[in-house]
Structure 1
């Protein structure tokens, strides 16, 4: 059994933020940003995350030529949900009218779309028919715009797809190294509790000092993890699928940094022509990166039926994952 993609959809904020815009708030330059990341522009919004998620979901369901009532499971990924509870998935289930679907969220940071694809495969094995996957992120909400090293990286956007049972096969390879959790995180401190003394998190968790509710990243350590994780995710998923990386038609990586992708491609012995990258236009949209790139490559005709595709992501946790399927 495999996973068949029936339809895809995306949604982007209207506001385009250029590298030049950042020169007005931090010490940086277009040349510095492009050379180190490959990013030229990114999108940002003041809207709720669920607005982007809803539009991407509706577009994917329409592209699949289904109605919301045909969906029996919604899996959402986000680190920027508008609510602590309910889940983004439940909000979207109600807003699009998918009354027959169960719904829940997954937090696996930038690798989360790969994890949801793996989950979808297992649900399809157990009789579910049409599963809606949505990755929606508004990283501008948790960006430290005083940190010149990270604020230029992130953007907002949403991608979605509808999947069902297919015949092309599926294999995944997921991994985690929690010892690196303190290299990439966004902390939310507890409120004062009237009955107890709340310990300072610095005294108990050994995480670096960082602003509440904003992203902290040790770029050097994350870079080292990412290069190895990306290559491992691709190799291991391909091995489980029964092919070599050289037999892949396409690799869709998490769009964190073009240099990470280039280094991983070299380690895998693959040409960059096999990698679908749109980081220049959208920056790092966390879990939304892969479904956004997937939608773009399907819609412009690069990805064709019968081709073998590997999606691979890495992110806070530290987590990584690769999955191979036939489109």
Structure 2
């Protein structure tokens, strides 16, 4: 008998304000044509003064709980992936816990930037399979707009704010084709810190800092690393690439999505793309895209899906899931 972590609900949340490329071009030296040609992005959502990483995370969590038909009090684990917490401490996960009205459960943040949701999934999956907990909320939430240098057109046009969440439940299965997380593979290589980072922090500058990125170098590493980790995860799960129903990738850049799919020989129509609507929402992008494809009916029960992401650090990873 095998214990698997099964996704029983998904949810997402976006700030009320949606910003088009044309609106952005009114204050930034850029254009809709320039942004679309290089990134595929057309819109992004920007958090207002009353919207924070924790409020977006709580909204996404409530939507996921509703989809799962599970009460918040029935959760015993919250893992929140974010690089933009509400406070240095305590964790934003504990703020979400309080907003959901949960009196007591394990709650903590995970920091792995754009790969954070994949890291959080593996942490929660390990705890559920170990029998420590039965149900978990895994959330990716960001307000990246608050880290952006709005005078740097090479980075400020790329990012947006949002949150996505899943509800995981530990279930016993004696069926090799049963639902659940089949495998997760994670990696990190800190030698590439200076290619994608924020130039501040409590222990260095005492400030939040701004995002800095060398886009061409990040692009090259992303295509190679993502294709490799997806292939690695499929081999570990014993799944052939042509058996994959959907790839739900980190939504960084449409060109990265296309290049990664081609490298693996995956049909473009199998790749869930939301980067045009949401831009890069870092740790939120994979669960946001997943919830979008579940709610519009593309992803259904029993589908084999691959989640993948790469972010600053570098960190990268992939998970194979039978939905």
Q: Aligned partners of 2:20, 2:307: CA distance in 1, in Å?
A: 27
Q: Which residue of 2 aligns with 1:264?
A: 260
In structure 2, what is the equivalent of residue 194 of structure 1? none
Superposed displacement of residue 62, structure 1? 1.6
1:113 and 1:13 map into 2 onto residues whose CA distance is 19
Contact kept, 8 Å, 1:3 with 1:325, in 2: the verdict is no
Normalising by the residue count of structure 2, what TM-score does the alignment of the two structures yield?
0.93
Which residue does the alignment assign to 1:240? 236
Indicate the larger mover: 162-171 or 254-263: 162-171
Name the counterpart of 1:155.
160
Aligned to 1:9: 11
Q: CA separation of 1:58/1:303 partners in 2, compared to 1, >3 Å: closer, same or farther?
A: same
The match for 2:137 is 132
Segments of structure 2 that go 5 or more residues without pairing to the other structure are 172-177
Q: Which runs of 4+ in 1 moved over 2 A?
A: 165-169
TM-score (norm 1): 0.92
Deviations 1:83-132 (A, max 9, x none): 00000111111111222411000001001111111112111112111100
Do the aligned partners of residues 190 and 171 (structure 1) sit closer, same or farther apart at CA in structure 2, a change above 3 Å counting? closer
Structure 1, residues 44-84: CA drift from partner, whole Å, max 9, x if none? 01222211111111111121111111101000011111100
Q: Deviations over 1:228-270 (max 9, x none)?
A: 1110121011000001222111100000000001001110011
Is 1:52 aligned with 2:56?
Answer: yes
* Counterpart residue number, 1:188: 200
The answer on 1:174 being equivalent to 2:186 is: yes
> Which structure would you say has the larger Rg?
1
Give 1:26 shift: 2.2
Q: What's the C-alpha RMSD, in Å, of the aligned pairs? A: 1.7
Cα 1:251–1:123 shift into 2, 3 Å: same
Where do 1:36-115 residues align within 5 Å? Answer: 36-46=38-48, 47-115=51-119
Alignment partner of 2:154: what SS?
A: coil
Structure 1 residue corresponding to 2:209, chosen from 213, 228, 232: 213
| Uncovered stretches (5+) of structure 1, i.e. residues with no partner | 192-197, 202-210
Structure 1 position 283 matched with structure 2 position 279: yes
Aligned residue pairs, count = 311
SS in 1 for 2:317: strand
